[in-house]
């Protein structure tokens, strides 16, 4: 790899990641969820940075923050760069955020030449990629893609606040959600820089990679239903212990996923009534299932469902599974991939790793209305969704250089 063109932009990008983290950081990590006060402060900060670049700024009715630089003529279709500002609980500083601030650095570099571009350049900070608050992901980008579902308004968080109520408190008008949708003819494409969230780049000793496809995820809430009884007074043959049944389900989820070369995770498990001397009568759990292709993912879901029902029935337990989120897998656009490859080649690596993304991204939703492509930046030990997320100044500098070069390659291809 050649030396990055400038580390100053990367240093500013990392400082901005720290500044955004400071809006919502605690001793445990960062948490910034959809339609929260922290979300509002993050949008305001991003809008200020966009304004400093001379961008026209606006926040849409889904809570996404936008900035736009016109191209060589007003009103041209836009090439959109961006990622998301929301986080999971106890998060790190770079998931999503690095993509937003890196897009701003590219816009900073190109602003003096924006009038020569054959498209407008837009930067977006999506509002809800993770789905942390309302247990359904990609709310911000789905609204932009015209895929908003009316039933989402009634989803509630742990305090019983609905999406509709939270939106109104945030200053949004739910009746205007349709205005968020963008028309395909108004877009050139969508490019996203993101930390890899996996160990492949580090294992290959490479700072950057190009994404070939994004795995579609399906998410569920599950219930194992038994009978709560006194722990001391109930002999084992009479027990219908929901937690023991759920434990068997969790172990089977891992085994079946490994056998199918897929990914399935139980991330949340809660036993009720939760007394130390009570046989659990109900366990609620989450289930996240992914695979490189949707057909393999869906087959894995059915294997998990069938095995869980059989194993629970043997213990006289009921097993219920309710789908809360589904997103189709996405293949990145070949031409935009070529531009990302050209961008990475400009940094000195003409054969970067090609990676299918196990994690979901806003690019999945945007693919419904425009071509998409992604660039991965190495993260230490592949750790993400944790305070230990870490990137290096040099890798981020290479990422910004490649991101800018990719945009210029798109411009070259469009003439």
Residue-level length of the chain? 415
C-alpha span between 255 and 277 (Å, rounded): 31
Q: Which of 200, 209, 221 is nearest to 282 (CA)?
A: 221
* Sequence-ordered list of residues with C-beta below 8 angstroms from that of 267, at least 6 positions apart, any chain: 286, 288
CA–CA distance, 307 with 232 (Å, rounded to integer): 30
Q: Within its chain, how far is the Cα of 407 from the centroid? A: 22
| Cα-based distances in Å from 47 to 15, 50, 53, 60 | 16, 5, 10, 12
How far apart are alpha carbons 352 and 336 in whole angstroms?
15
Residue 209: predicted pLDDT = 98
The predicted-structure confidence for 170-206, as pLDDT tens digits, reads as follows 999 999 999 999 999 999 999 999 999 999 999 999 9
Q: How many CA atoms lie within 13 A of 190 on its CB side?
A: 29
Tens of pLDDT, residue by residue over 336-358, are 999 999 999 999 999 999 999 99
Q: 356 pairs with which residues across the strands?
A: 213
**Contact status, residue 68 vs residue 114, Cβ threshold 8 Å:** no
pLDDT at 1: 62
400-411 exposure pattern, b = at least 16 Cβ within 10 A, e = fewer = bbbbbbbbbbbb
pLDDT tens series, the chain, 415 aa: 665 657 999 999 999 999 999 987 665 679 999 999 999 999 999 999 999 999 999 999 999 999 999 999 999 999 999 999 999 999 999 999 999 999 999 999 999 999 999 999 999 999 999 999 998 889 999 999 999 999 999 999 999 999 999 999 999 999 999 999 999 999 999 999 999 999 999 999 999 999 999 998 899 999 999 999 999 999 999 999 999 999 999 999 999 999 999 999 999 999 999 999 999 999 999 999 999 889 999 999 999 999 999 999 999 999 999 998 888 899 999 999 999 999 999 999 999 999 999 998 999 999 999 999 999 999 999 999 999 999 999 999 999 999 999 999 999 999 8
- The first and second tokens of residue 149, run together, are 């579902």
Query: Helices 37-52 & 8-22, crossing angle to 10 degrees?
Result: 150
Q: Which two tokens stand for residue 151?
A: 């039933």
């Amino acid at each position: 790899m050649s030396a990055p063109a400038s580390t100053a932009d990367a240093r500013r990008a990392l400082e901005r990641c720290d500044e955004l983290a400071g809006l919502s950081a605690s001793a445990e990590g960062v948490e910034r969820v959809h339609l929260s006060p922290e979300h509002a402060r993050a949008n305001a900060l991003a809008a200020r940075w966009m304004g400093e670049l001379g961008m026209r700024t606006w926040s849409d009715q889904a809570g996404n923050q936008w900035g736009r630089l016109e191209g060589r003529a007003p009103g041209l279709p836009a090439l959109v760069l961006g990622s998301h500002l929301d986080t999971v609980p106890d998060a790190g500083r770079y998931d999503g955020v690095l993509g937003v601030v890196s897009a701003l650095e590219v816009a900073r570099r190109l602003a003096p030449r924006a009038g020569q571009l054959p498209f407008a350049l837009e930067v977006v900070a999506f509002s809800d990629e993770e789905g942390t608050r309302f247990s359904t992901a990609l709310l911000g980008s789905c609204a932009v893609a015209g895929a908003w579902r009316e039933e989402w308004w009634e989803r509630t968080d742990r305090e019983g606040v609905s999406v509709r109520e939270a939106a109104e408190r945030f200053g949004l008008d739910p009746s205007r959600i349709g205005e968020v949708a963008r028309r395909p003819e108004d877009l050139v494409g969508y490019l996203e820089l993101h930390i890899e969230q996996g160990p492949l780049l580090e294992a290959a000793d490479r700072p950057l990679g190009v994404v070939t496809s994004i795995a579609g995820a399906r998410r569920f809430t599950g219930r194992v239903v038994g009978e709560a009884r006194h722990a001391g007074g109930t002999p084992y043959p009479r027990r219908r212990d929901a937690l023991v049944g759920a434990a068997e389900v969790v172990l089977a989820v891992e085994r079946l996923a490994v056998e199918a070369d897929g990914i399935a995770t139980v991330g949340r498990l809660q036993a009720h009534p939760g007394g130390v001397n009570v046989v659990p009568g109900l366990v609620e759990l989450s289930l996240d299932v992914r695979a490189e292709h949707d057909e393999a993912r869906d087959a894995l879901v059915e294997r998990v469902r069938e095995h869980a029902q059989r194993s629970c029935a043997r213990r006289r337990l009921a097993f219920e599974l309710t789908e809360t989120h589904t997103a189709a897998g996405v293949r990145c656009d070949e031409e935009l991939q070529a531009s990302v490859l050209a961008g990475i080649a400009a940094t000195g690596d003409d054969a970067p790793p090609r990676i299918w993304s196990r994690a979901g991204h806003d690019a999945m939703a945007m693919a419904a209305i425009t071509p998409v492509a992604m660039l991965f930046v190495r993260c230490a030990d592949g750790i993400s969704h944790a305070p230990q997320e870490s990137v290096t100044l040099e890798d981020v500098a290479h990422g910004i250089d490649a991101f800018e070069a990719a945009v210029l390659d798109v411009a070259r291809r469009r003439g």
